[in-house]
Structures are given as structure tokens and as C-alpha cells.
Amino acid sequence: MLAKVYSSAVIGLEGVLVEVEVDIAQGLPGFTIVGLGDTAVQESRERVRAAVRNSGYSFPMKRITVNLAPADLRKAGPAYDLPIAIGLLLASEQIQGDTSNAVFIGELGLDGAVRHTDGVLPMVAVAHERGIRQVFVPKEDAAEASLINGVSIVPVQRLDDLAAHLSGARWLPEYAGVPTHTKLVPEYPVDFTVVRGQEHVKRALEVAAAGGHNVLMTGSPGAGKTLMARALISILPPLTMSEAIEVTKIYSVAGQLPKDTPLIRQRPFCAPHHTTSLAGLVGGGGARVKPGMVSLAHRGVLFLDELPEFGSKLDVLRQPLEDRIVTLSRAVGSITYPASFMLVAAQNPCVCGWYGDPERPCTCTASAVARYQRRVSGPLLDRFDIFVTVPRVPFEKLNSLQPGEGSTTIRERVIAARQIQERRFRDMRMLTNSDMGPAEVHRYCVLDNKGQLVLQSAMRQLDLSARGYHRVLKLARTIADLAGVERITAQHVAEALQYRFHQIE
């Protein structure tokens, strides 16, 4: 007897429909799975065998062949346990039911329990795209699966419950939970009200948030670099629903979606340690290629603390920073993940951390300072739009009871500037000013007469390159958007030059 049911695989962030064919024939007892399955797929034979028996059904002592089609697509993970078990019960005629318009996803425990599976969201999305209107998923994944509209989601706790449902003996209700996006509100761990002083640094981060610019902060230990970087998330615009689903897909595929958070509504903040491997940064690993930190930070912030300690491995960020994607090539093919993030980095000026400090002397030699600062390559430094020095905060400001400006107020200005950019780039594949190319800079970064004179003088005195020229104009465009004006003035250009001066110096 032959039975066919549908499941799904995940390639990158996209689901692919998989047909699970189960054939039971006369011959020596055996259980074979073909179709380029990895170790987890091959091990499903024992999980399915035990789950079928412990669910009250008999396991056929015949020649069993399972084919996962298309056969040239590699399958990974335990998500095929449930469809294989259902196909086995159908082929052995222990249950009857119409499964032609349903997808089955889930790992099986030896007792027949249906367990969580990574990547449910893209799997349900491909079922919807292919016109399949019913998906059976583990109960704990039902809220995540329900994010895809137009699909009937049926939570399953046990194999025997699903078998009885398909036979008509018992009925499994569809998921009817409250839509996730109506009850989840972003919560920010750090608010700018706790930051004392550092007004010029907070202004630089506001400009960066408004235009999606990359920032490098340099300062002595304890000056507040990490605190302000973590507060940056609180002034970014909230994720739109489409962005939230996009981010949730990444975390679902990576297996890092929290159980109590089926939809991610807060922009990601990823802070890898400097000992993180290349695979940890850009993605990869073993046979199952998973997203790295640059993709987990998609639509959010990638924060690199102690930037020089990362060393030459940071050069792998150059392609994601330019193309907003990361492509991982393996022998079996290439996988592309999105990687559109703000890069925020912090560093000490030297090994001891006190070079240039007005109160504490530096203990490093001049050559040691130079070597430390050369750990970050020039091409990577060139990807930063804003360079800002973070000085130590004086006692008077630290001891002040007057709170700083709150993130809510700053976020309102950032959202207003982003809305201007959204209207500007409505018909283009751009979101922020930092995405502009030379053609867009020439079109949208128009200076008044005084602004042209200031920039012309800066080009001559500071020896700005063509790339530096364009970066100054993009920064000035963002500053003008924050001010709500169309024409860039000398004041906007002067502030933009201030953020680039550290690199020129």
C-alpha cells in the first residue's frame, strides 16, 4: 500500500513543500528513508517506530520505504517524524482520512507526544502560498503558526489524537488564540533618562537612528558607551508587522524564538563577544546552516563592544554592510539570509583605555597605541558614518537628580524623520538615508549657497575623498530631516562634518 502526505523543509528563510511517500510491501521487515535526509531524519525511524506502538497502533513488520520528495533537496531536522507516522498509519490502513490538502509538521517523542520544531513560520507560509489551507503543528508552535493569515492551524499534542481526528473518531479544534500582535508591546531594558550628561553623544545616536547610520564610539572605560548603545533600541521606530514577521522567521529558523514570544515586536539587539567565531557572526555551522549574528540583528542593532579585540574576522562584515544580505556558500549550494542592521561599535582609545583622558595618564607607549588602533582595518572603519568621542561624565552631572531627555521624546523625532524618508523613497528599494547611492545623493541632498561654501571649504582643508563627501551629505540630509526642512543648510553640513572629523583626524 502507498500513502502520500505533505510536510515542509526550510532552505534559508523560505519553506519548501515536501511530499512524504510511504510504501509498505511484502518482504523482509525493514524501514528505509530516502531523499537526502540528515542524521536527524534517519533517526526518525526509531522515534516513529516507538511512537506508533506507544500510541496504541501496530507497527507493520514488512518492507517499509519512505521517500522525501523532491529527492535532490537536502532535508534536515526532526520535523518529518509526524508526517512519516501519519503516512505509515494510512499506508497500513490502520486509519483512513483525506490528507491531500493538509501539511503535517512535528517531532515525535517515543511516547507519541508531538514536540516543538524550529522553522514553523516559513513552513506554514509556503503551505499558504501553495494553496494548502490546513496545517497540523505541535501545540506549543500554534501561536507562531497563526501569524500566517488564511491558514487553518490545528494544534496537536499526541499522535493518537491526530490519528483519531483524521479517522473522524475525535475532533481537534483549530487554534483560536488572541492575535499575537494585539497583546505584545515592546519593552526597552534601557531608557535614555538614565544617561547623565553626554548630550552630544545622545544627539549623534539620535541622528544615527533617524538615518540608519553606523556609529563608532571611542572613550575611556566606564564613560557609558555600552549603556548608550543598549539604549539606542529604545529610540528606533517600532517594527512594522511585515518587519516583525521577517525577524520572527529568522529567529524561528535559528531555533532562538522564545516560547512565550511567538512574534518578535522589539527590534533585535545583538552583542556578540569578541571571541565569537566567523560562523557565529555570519552564519553557517555544520550540515544545518543557520543564521549568524548579522542576520539575528536584521532590522535592529549589531553592537560590537571592544571593537579592536575582534581582529581581522570583522572583515567578513564588509559584504553584509554593503549588500544588506549575507550569502553562505557550501558544497550543496548557497543560502542567503537578510542582514540589514545598524552597526554600532565601541572601543577604548588604547590598551589601558586612558589615552587622551584629561585626568588619568595613559600607561601605553606611542607604538602600543598605534598598534592597538590599527587592529581595525581601514575598509571596515570606512563603513562607519558617525565617529563620536565619549568623555568621562563630571561628578556634577552624575550626581544630578534631573533626569535626561526620555527615549519616548527622542523616538518621536526619529519617527518623524523616518516618515519623511519613507515618503522620499516610496518608489525605491530603500528605507533610510544611509541606503542612498551617488545618484540619490545628487538628487536629494541639495545644499543652499552657504552650505555649499562650508562643504567646499571642508573638501579643501580636510582632504575629503569622494566617499567621504557622499557620507557627509547623507548625514546632513538626515540632520535636515530631523529639523523638518527640505533644503540642507550650512548648519546641517557643519554638524555632519563634526561627526566625520574623528576619522579625518
Number of domain units in the chain: 3
Helical segments of 139-265, H only: 142-145, 159-167, 199-211, 225-231, 241-254
pLDDT at 65: 97
- Residues 279, 141 share a domain: no
Residue 104 corresponds to which cell in the numbers above? 503535517
Task: Answer whether residue 156 is part of any domain.
Answer: yes
> Which of 130, 149, 177 delimits the end of a domain?
177
Cell of 281: 557572526
Domain finish residue from 372, 393, 409: 409
Residue 456 lies in a domain: yes
CA distances from 200 to 229, 388, 491, 495, 500 (A): 14, 8, 15, 11, 14
Identify the pLDDT of residue 352. 92
Mean pLDDT for all residues in the chain = 91
Does the structure show a pLDDT above 60 at 118?
yes
209-220: per-residue pLDDT in tens?
999 999 999 999
Question: Are residues 273 and 149 part of one domain?
Answer: no
Q: Please tell me the predicted confidence (pLDDT) of residue 504.
A: 39
The CATH number of whichever domain residue 121 belongs to comes to 3.30.230.10
Nearest to 304 by CA among 381, 378, 192: 381
Examine the domain organization and report whether 247 and 389 are in the same domain. yes
Contact of 142 with 262, CB cutoff 8 Å: no
pLDDT tens digits, 421-465: 999 999 888 899 999 999 999 999 999 999 999 999 988 888 888
Is residue 328's pLDDT more than 90? no
Strand, coil or helix: 126: helix
**pLDDT at residue number 503:** 47
Same domain, 165 and 209: no
Place of cell 553592537: 303
Statement: residue 401 has pLDDT above 80: no
157: which DSSP letter? S
Helix (H, G, I), strand (E, B) or coil at 402: coil
Q: What is the rounded distance in angstroms from the CA atom of residue 412 to the CA atom of residue 427?
A: 24
Question: Is residue 222 pLDDT above 70, yes or no?
Answer: yes
Return the pLDDT at 299: 95
Inside any domain, residue 423: no
Tell me what pLDDT residue 382 has.
87
More confident residue, 183 or 85: 85
How many CB atoms are located within 10 Å of the residue 228 CB? 24
> Are 124 and 273 found together in one domain?
no
| DSSP per residue, 494-505 | HHHHHHHHHHH-
Let me know if residue 263 belongs to a domain.
Answer: yes
Bin 159: left if φ > 0, else alpha if -120 < ψ < 50, else beta: alpha
355 and 494 within one domain: no
Angle at 79 between CA 60 and CA 260, to 5 degrees: 135
Helices and strands (H, E) in the chain, number of each type: 20, 18
Per the domain annotation, does 166 fall within a domain?
yes
Percent of the chain with pLDDT over 90: 76
Same domain as 459, residue 371: no
Cell of 480: 535636515
Neighbours of 93 (CB within 10 A): 11
The answer to whether residues 363 and 447 belong to one domain is no
φ, ψ at 478 (rounded to 5°): -65, -40
Top mean pLDDT of 123-132, 333-342, 496-505 is at 123-132
CATH number of the domain residue 440 falls in: 1.10.8
Of residues 328, 491, 484, 499, the one with CA closest to residue 416: 484
* Residue 453: partners with Cβ closer than 8 Å, 6 or more residues away: 490
The alpha carbon of residue 248 and the mean position of all alpha carbons in its chain are separated, in whole angstroms, by 8
Query: Is the preceding peptide bond at 237 cis, omega within 30 degrees of 0?
Result: no
Domain end among 145, 177, 209? 177
pLDDT at 1: 85
Query: Which candidate, 316, 307, 318, places its Cα nearest to that of 353?
Result: 307
**What local confidence, expressed as pLDDT, does residue 505 receive?**
39
Amino acid making up residue 431: L
Query: For a pLDDT cut of 70, what percent of the chain falls above it?
Result: 96
Residues 165 and 231 both lie in one domain: no
- Verify that 354 and 477 share a domain, yes or no: no
What pTM does this model have?
A: 0.91
Task: State the pLDDT at residue 128.
Answer: 96
In 425-448, where does DSSP find H-type helix?
438-444
Higher per-residue pLDDT: 402 or 44: 44
With 0-12 / 13-18 / 19 or more C-beta atoms within 10 angstroms meaning exposed / middle / buried, residue 46 is exposed
Q: Which residue, 41, 142, 143, 53, is CA-closest to 89?
A: 53
Among 500, 479, 502, smallest CA distance to 208 is for: 479
**469: domain range?**
436-505
Kindly state the average pLDDT of the residues 400-422.
Answer: 91
Q: At what angle do helices 466-483 and 449-462 cross, to 10 degrees?
A: 140
- CATH (domain of 323): 3.40.50.300
**Minimal CA–CA distance to 368: which of 387, 385, 349, 383?**
349
* 84 exposure class (CB count in 10 Å sphere: 0-12, 13-18, 19+): buried
Could you tell me which residues are beta bridge partners of residue 16? 9
Answer yes or no: do 207 and 332 share one domain: yes
Does residue 414 lie within any of the structural domains?
no
Whether 179 has a pLDDT exceeding 80, the answer reads: no
In DSSP terms, 134 is beta-bridged to: 102, 152
Which of 158, 185, 165, 328 is CA-nearest to residue 266? Answer: 185
Query: 219 near 390, Cβ under 8 Å?
Result: yes
Q: pLDDT-based confidence at 399, cuts 50/70/90?
A: confident
Q: Which residue has the higher pLDDT, 202 or 505?
A: 202
Going by pLDDT thresholds of 50, 70 and 90, the confidence category of residue 239 is very high
For range 335-356, the mean pLDDT: 93
